[in-house]
Amino acid sequence: MKLVAWPSHAQCRLTQQPTTLKMNEDFLKSMKEAFHLLRTKGPKEATAAVQRALARGAAEAGHTQTPQTPHTPQNINEWAQAWTQAQSRTTTPHAPAERTFDADTPGTFSTHTFSNSAGQRQYKLYVPAVYNNEPLPLIVMLHGCTQNADDFAAGTRMNAMAERLGFMVVYPNQSLAANHSACWNWFKPTDQQRDQGEPSLIAGITREVIARYRIDPARVYVAGLSAGGAMADVMLKTSPDLYAAACVHSGLAYGSAKDLPSALAAMKGAKTNRTRSRVEPQRPLIVFHGDADTTVHPSNATALVAGFDAGITTVSSPSLPAGTAGTANGRRGCTVRRLVAANGVEAEYWSIHDAGHAWAGGSPHGSFTDPSGPDAAAEMLRFFLAHPRASGTH
């Protein structure tokens, strides 16, 4: 496994002078500030932060004339490109391969690259400080469109959860070259097949982590939001031998689309001719979806659990057991359906009342989060850890 802390062109930066490095580090900090402002306030405030960074850089470089103002990013793709360029400016030959994520998570959050015949993807791996070579569960987290691993980790708080409960988390990063909005291509035929396209890359990343660390093979799970949620269901359906269960948050069912037009139609709730066959589910599934989601219609959540129709128990949030998300403590109300397939495989469907397209109970430090809950991460982990893959199953 090749550890990658910085872009691959780091070797080109060996001749940078210390003053230039300091300026570039300051510029990267300013870009981080700009991205935070972009998420919390808007493009006007973010642009102002970039302009301040440029002005400081010109002053420190000894420029007496006002530098020409570069193009200001106008959309999320251009902001992503600006972020990548800012990272490359701070490349140093001695950057560590692993680093602590933040003060609240004492483990390591490191960057890696995986390649196979389908292409190449970076991924980030969180190893908790409690890891002592004993087998731990592994959770694969697939971000949504316009997100990345860092953003998704911050918004879901999964690294802090991993430290507290003792598991590892891997976050595959979609490439902008593969999708201009950083969406997983869950709707393309090649990317819905085992050992092909993006499923082969995600499965390959999963297996690489399993090979490098002591992972309990019966407790490997996959989860995602929106396009990442749709891809999580793709992974569960195409690699049931690898994943014990899946979580789909605000996503779509495997086989819902065969191209971009049918994907957009499915997202809006149109009834499509699903390519998936009517078979009994092989692995447990937990689904979260806001009933006011206007990006991915809630009917897609119903499609996800369509095969779990042998038994259904519905519980409204006010009567949920203590410790389960509900209307208390400022949480959104929700209705939970506990389902089972004819073969005994279990599922849960959390319909979150008046919630839009966002990770329930997430942190405001990440994008597409709804802090008012319920706590999807905690409920997902409860469900996952209660459903290891049975011995001898494939």
Sign of the dihedral through C-alpha 346, 352, 353, 357: negative
Of 336, 344, 330, residue with least CA distance to 380:
336
Report DSSP state, residue 317: G
If you ran DSSP here, which 8-state letter would residue 330 be given? G
**Rounded distance, CA 174 to CA 1, Å?**
19
**Active site (annotated) includes residue 226:** yes
Q: How many residues does the chain have?
A: 394
Closest alpha carbon to 227 in 254, 200, 197, 195: 254
Query: Hey, what are 126's tokens?
Result: 């969180």
Helical spans, DSSP H, in the chain: 18-40, 43-60, 76-89, 149-156, 158-165, 197-212, 227-238, 260-267, 299-304, 376-385
Preceding peptide of 217 cis, ω within 30° = no
Tokens describing residue 194: 């085992």
In the set 30, 110, 200, 226, the catalytic residue is 226
Q: Tokens 């400080």 appear where?
A: 129
How crowded is the C-beta side of 324, counted as CA atoms within 13 Å? 15
Torsion 268-271-272-275 (CA) sign: positive
Residue 46 CA: distances (Å) to CA of 49, 74, 75, 80, 81: 5, 11, 12, 13, 15
216: exposed, middle or buried (Cβ count in 10 Å: 0-12, 13-18, 19+)? middle
Active site residues: 226
